[in-house]
Structure 1
């Protein structure tokens, strides 16, 4: 390094190194790691003839974002499915038009898959029905998934292929909706498998392309690390092989924390029997955790609560996916095997079932302390549950963007008081928890700047402010989106901050976020993303130009 200098020097703008470290004026990268940070006149002598220089020109550099909870392969595959998300689709007619267009472009009898509709936003104020999908695509089986991912609507052709009729019983932990004894096409929670198991699984080539596309999309947003939270529920054990091939073929653009599907219909036990063990892999692809679903979603009325939903929303207390005995058995099994537990629980009753199961699994032979078990979402919990989580180092892994996208629906379903208290980011931080920020994409937008806006304002996309006492500073929000995500993946000693020796996972933002209003943060974007000092996204071709000089 003495002759040629460091590989890269960033200067000309502020570099946010982390919550504790604050700002630096310049940063040097060598051999994929941060070589030095500090004043510009201290860093510049490290440069040599071959050193590339990046002028931030007043922009902000930060540790690259870490997407601590998303479904990367489904997100990548979904990029080629019918887009029904609320940003573009707000009427039933538009949803059906898109389904019909996809059907016309597909061979007769081929499946048509759509993702992301929100019945709360649609002009009809309800879910589409099988009959409506039949009219749009009479010659194709159709499945569209609600934005939460916990319910689908299938048309008649899809239900026939699945052998589902009006007398088909509800499976354990699932609901098949009927009105007047007639199927509506709506399937909730574990009942979705009746239909989804009939959809042809993608082959390895398609999955590798989905992985590549998703990684490229996230790199373009400033991410260098992400998760796949339910590996195996799209194509079984073949998903493990697809990820390994993507890595081998250079198509894995992000550092991945992999979470195996642990429900009985998942692959966790089969993967164990084939020899996959906790923490197998490397810094690019790490198999670290198992996921089990305890309940559904608050927007879909399937998150499990002690107190019922409002009568105007239909009442009821939601759906527990498993009896407590079954849940505790699964948690104990995977805990003893050595996996991190990444367990989906949104409502307080589901959180209680999961938390008590983790406590029951805590034995002298297999202590919970240090395992960093996670409760995913963890949206509506009590003070006592927070205390018990803190006592055992159990991490909340929330999605603040849910307040932006679904907050008004929480008010409608649960009332103002419960909506105000949901996803208590500031309380968690003040109590000493380490909440990460994530999106659950494709459930919500993966755009990190929308998530930052949600943490800064607690404002919904309709302008409602819910729980203003839970707003964060920008520094706290960035910490949750960088260091805390790495911490939840046992990676905080190598990434999540920009200190000497850390991996050079860096995002350059289009403006200095610390000088912007929250509304201006919404319009920011990533201009450059580095993973280990290598360029994985360069909006303006800046480093390519620097290399050519």
Structure 2
């Protein structure tokens, strides 16, 4: 309504001005003067309504937290009991009495913290956000204290879920250092889970993955398979053990179904919800090689979330490329590939 009033007022004023220009004299046309003044008042009313609507929205997005322990993290590490937040921006901190007196009439919501602690959001300085989001749906192997238990977890996963042709059983988190017998798992170990479903279990460090014989077959690994910057681990007799290290892990990624923009959006949303629940509000992440989706897909997924105002954490992306041509393409497109506002 406010925008409509503004447009009507502006049109009437412009028309009146044009008429006065034709007649060349406003003194002989008092009606035109009255019309112009009226149209200016209408236009001003429209702008005022728009301003009041904006102010109302601001007020509706304000909140007071009080009766808490609020750490300001200033140079004196000052402790406050109340905080005023407007449009997701911290505007003021202080005592309950001061904050409520200054902003109590303005705040839409007031929350009694009952002595709970409020801290600034935490930052995770080393994370693979997309990989973390994906891991939340993978088989959790962090609880395995032996290869036998890892095999049991894999068998239980197959009993709970049907795996159609082409779908992989993916797990993450095993660590031979906490096994009762500190030996690395092999493809023969994973074959005890299944020889018909491709399996890939990644170590907790995310720098090595063990696969079964079916995965070896699907990927097409043979005695000539070599990956620069990685290792296809073989026994002294030259037999593939099932272990892939570093860039050799991309053999698995590149064989799996590539992630779409929608897939990556869902993965990021899943990850950020978990992080927010832990108080983490910003991350340094390395995602551009995630799931073989391609760097453009990853950036477009982030851009989609940003455009829809659904990116709830601050993200600093490490732009890691394994291929020089890809890196040059990235630079040629402005160092980020797309305009976030588009």
CA offsets per residue over residues 149-208 of structure 1, 9 Å max, x none? 111111112122222123434x33322222232111111112222333212222222221
Say if 2:305 and 2:311, in contact at 8 Å, map to a contact too: yes
After the TM superposition, which residues 38-187 of structure 1 pair with which residues of structure 2 at under 5 Å, given as runs?
38-49=94-105, 51=107, 52-85=109-142, 88-104=143-159, 105-169=162-226, 171-179=227-235, 180-187=237-244
1:28–1:89 Cα change, 3 Å: same
How far residue 15 of structure 1 moved from its aligned partner, in angstroms, is 0.9
- Point out where structure 1 has 5 or more consecutive residues left out of the alignment: 283-549
Q: How many Å separate the matches in 1 of 2:316 and 2:325?
A: 17
Query: Which of 79, 85, 89 is residue 29 of structure 1 equivalent to?
Result: 85
Superposition pairs for residues 181-260 of structure 1, below 5 Å? 181-234=238-291, 235-236=293-294, 237-260=296-319
C-alpha displacement of 1:107: 1.3
CA contact (8 A) 2:289 2:321 kept: no
Selected match of 2:71 from 16, 33, 39: 16
1:275 aligns with 2:331: no
Contact 2:130 2:287 in 1 (8 A): no
In structure 2, distance between residues paired with 1:53 and 1:158:
56
1:248 CA drift (Å): 3.0
CA positional deviation for 1:30: 2.0
CA distance 1:119–1:267, shift in 2 (3 Å): farther
Checking the alignment, whether the CA contact within 8 Å between 1:9 and 1:29 is kept in structure 2 is yes
1:13·1:56 contact (CA, 8 Å) conserved in 2? Answer: yes
Pairwise CA distance, 1:65: 1.3
Contact kept, 8 Å, 2:139 with 2:170, in 1: the verdict is yes
Offset from partner CA, 1:112-167 (integer Å, 9 cap, x none)? 21111111112331221101111202111111111111111111121222221234
Relative distance call for 1:266 and 1:122 in structure 2 (3 A) is farther
Runs of 4 or more, structure 1, over 4 Å off, are 1-6, 277-282
Distance 1:265 1:272, change over 3 A: closer
Kindly tell me: are residues 70 and 6 of structure 1, through their superposed partners in 2, closer, same or farther at Cα, counting changes over 3 Å? closer
TM-score, normalised to structure 2's length? 0.73
The answer to which structure has the higher helix fraction is: 2
Shift of 1:17: 0.8
Could you say what secondary structure the match of 1:18 adopts?
Answer: coil
Secondary structure in 2 aligned to 1:243?
A: helix
Deviations along 1:376-404, one digit per CA (max 9) or x if unpaired, are xxxxxxxxxxxxxxxxxxxxxxxxxxxxx
Aligned to 1:296: none
Task: Name the CA distance, whole Å, in 2 between partners of 1:211 and 1:80.
Answer: 12
TM-score, normalised relative to structure 1: 0.47
Contact 1:119 1:126 in 2 (8 A): yes
Q: Is the Cα contact below 8 Å between 1:4 and 1:49 reproduced in 2?
A: no
Q: Distance in 2 between matches of 1:273 and 1:201?
A: 24
Structure 2 counterpart SS, 1:161:
helix
Larger radius of gyration: 2
Aligned to 1:295: none
Superimposed CA distance per residue, residues 270-307 of structure 1 (whole angstroms, 9 cap, x where no aligned partner): 3222333499758xxxxxxxxxxxxxxxxxxxxxxxxx
Contact 1:108 1:139 in 2 (8 A): no
Contact 1:159 1:195 (C-alpha < 8 Å) held by counterparts: no
Counterparts of residues 410-425 of structure 1 (less than 5 Å)? none
Flag the 1:277–1:195 CA change in 2: closer, same or farther, 3 A. Answer: closer
Q: Which runs of 5+ in 2 are unaligned?
A: 1-54
CA contact (8 A) 2:209 2:249 kept: yes
CA distance, structure 1, for counterparts of residue 60 and residue 97 of structure 2: 15
> How far, CA to CA, are the matches of 1:6 and 1:192 in structure 2?
46
CA contact (8 A) 2:203 2:209 kept: yes
Q: CA–CA distance in 1 between the matches of 2:130 and 2:189?
A: 29
Q: CA-to-partner distance for each residue in 1:12-52, whole Å, 9 max, x for gaps?
A: 12211115141222211123212112233322212234522
| 3-state SS of paired residue (1:99) | helix
Cα-to-partner distance string for 1:36-75 (whole Å, 9 max, x where unaligned): 1223332221223452222221211111112222111111
Name the CA distance, whole Å, in 2 between partners of 1:278 and 1:109. 32
Task: Report the number of matched residues.
Answer: 279
> Distance between the aligned counterparts of 1:204 and 1:249, measured in 2?
14
The Cα RMSD (Å) is: 2.8
Task: Report the Cα distance in structure 1 between the residues aligned to 2:289 and 2:139, rounded to whole angstroms.
Answer: 22
